[in-house]
Each structure stands twice: as structure tokens, then as C-alpha cells.
Amino acid sequence: MNSKLTLAEQETIILWDNELDTASIYTHDPRLLRRLAELSAKYPDDCIFEKNGAGKSRFYRVPKKLIAIRTPYSEERRKRQREQALQENYRERFSGNPGDAAGEET
């Protein structure tokens, strides 16, 4: 019997209790699981792995300040930020700063 969950069943649930400074996250999403695992390894006091769930799902507890709902990026803003990032990358790669691996290219 195959007990693989459908994409619709692979949900993410964020529990936000107004009394606490943290939120609980339950997720099946592989990208979010990877990001939470990285944060948990780097900041173990802030991003806390709580327990395994069904299948590959996991429970984490994180500070509420890590959870944000943003306005969507306009295409103009996305293009402007892409161009800025490309320019900054160009400057870093060719600035010749010692110790900068990218700056060592010729």
C-alpha cells in the first residue's frame, strides 16, 4: 500500500499564539524543511527543531520576527534589484581586494 501524500496533503501550518514570542511551524515542504534545518544548525537557540511528524514532515519553533508577509515585487522593482545585484557582483569580482576569491580572477 502506497501512503505517499499528494501535493495538496503536503501542507505547511504556522501556529501563531499571541501570548508567545515564537510561532510553531509544521511542514512537509522540502525547501522550507531545508531552510529551517540550516537556520536550526546556525541559530540553535532561535530556530528550534521540536520533533518529527508523519512521513518527512517536521515541527520547528521560531521567533515570530522571522515570519513576514510582504507586498509582491513589481516587475520594475525586480528588474532594478537584479541590475543592482549584477553591478555589485561585477564590482566585487573585479575590485582586486586581497582575500576575495572572486577578485583573484584575471
pLDDT mean over 69-78? 90
Q: Output the average pLDDT for the chain.
A: 85
Interval 20-36: pLDDT, tens: 999 999 999 999 999 99
Closest CA to 67 of 42, 86, 96, 46: 46
Confidence of residue 54 (pLDDT cuts 50, 70, 90): confident
3-state secondary structure of 24: strand
The rounded distance, in Å, linking the Cα atoms of 105 and 42 is 30
Hey, what amino acid is at 102? A
Closest Cα to residue 22, out of 39, 57, 42, 46?
46
Instruction: Using the predicted structure, report yes or no on whether residue 62 has a pLDDT greater than 60.
Output: yes
List, edge to edge, every strand of the sheet that includes 22-27.
12-16, 22-27, 58-63, 48-52
Q: Is 96 left (phi over 0), alpha (psi -120 to 50) or beta?
A: left
Top-confidence residue, 77 or 89: 77
Q: pLDDT value at position 74?
A: 92
DSSP label of 76: H
Q: How confident is the model at residue 45 (pLDDT cuts 50, 70, 90)?
A: very high
Question: 89 or 50: whose pLDDT is higher?
Answer: 50
Can you tell me whether residue 65 is helix, strand or coil? helix
Higher-pLDDT residue of 100, 88: 88
What is the structure's pLDDT at 8? 85
